[in-house]
């Protein structure tokens, strides 16, 4: 048996998710909008919309009865005013049967990449302020345009570092 064949025979799909966590958090902004000085309404709907949701796949390659390598990836997601970077997941899982009916387990994973970044807009404030870079969502707020940039989203995924420990007692 070749090592590639052995690898494939000992590799299993653990989890698959689409549009979780950061994808969901950015979608809440689709409901917003503001009115321009000429009375036209600007909707955030298209800015925070994507035709592809971040797809996250986690696999496990069992290397022994008690140990496995966890690995996977996220495809990322792009909207007009945001980006979720692609990601790579790596980690391990260990389990041991301490007694016939008692099992301990430990797993840890880290996610490299996967950051959510919001993009700014150019807003025209006319004779008062001219064209300036601004946080799109806050362009019509009372904040100075430059100050709105402090509120652009730049967020790491919630599951960037995960450690789990478990115990199962069967009776």
pLDDT band of residue 165 (cuts 50, 70, 90) is very high
Percent of the chain at pLDDT exceeding 90: 60
pLDDT, residue 1, reads 57
User: Residues 40-52: pLDDT tens digits?
Assistant: 898 899 899 998 9
Residue 18 has pLDDT above 80, yes or no: yes
In this prediction, residues 120-145 reach a mean pLDDT of 88
pLDDT, residue 108, reads 97
Q: Which two tokens stand for residue 23?
A: 């994808």
Q: Where are the domains of the chain?
A: 3-114+158-169
Distance CA 24, CA 155 (A): 13
Query: Angle 128-138-119 (CA atoms, 0-180°, nearest 5)?
Result: 105
Half-sphere exposure of 149 (CA within 13 A, CB side): 9
pLDDT, residue 4, reads 67
pLDDT, residue 2, reads 66
Q: Give, in order, the Cα–Cα distances in Å from 59 to each of 50, 92, 118, 152.
A: 26, 11, 30, 33
pLDDT, residue 25, reads 86
Q: Give, in order, the Cα–Cα distances in Å from 83 to each of 15, 75, 90, 105.
A: 23, 11, 22, 35
């Amino acid at each position: 048996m070749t090592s590639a064949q052995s690898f494939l025979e000992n590799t299993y799909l653990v989890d698959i998710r689409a549009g979780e966590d950061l994808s969901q958090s950015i979608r809440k902004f689709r409901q917003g909008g503001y009115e321009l000085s000429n009375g036209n309404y600007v909707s955030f709907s298209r800015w925070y919309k994507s035709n592809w949701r971040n797809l996250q796949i986690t696999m496990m390659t069992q290397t022994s009865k008690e140990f496995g390598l966890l690995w996977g990836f996220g495809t990322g997601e792009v909207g007009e005013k945001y980006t979720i970077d692609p990601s790579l997941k790596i980690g391990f899982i260990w389990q041991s049967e301490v007694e016939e009916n008692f099992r301990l387990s430990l797993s840890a994973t880290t996610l490299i990449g996967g950051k959510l970044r919001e993009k700014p807009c150019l807003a025209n404030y006319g004779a008062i302020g001219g064209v300036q870079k601004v946080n799109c969502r806050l362009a019509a707020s009372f904040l100075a345009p430059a100050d709105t940039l402090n509120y652009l989203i730049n967020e790491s995924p919630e599951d960037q570092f995960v450690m789990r420990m478990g115990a199962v007692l069967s009776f």
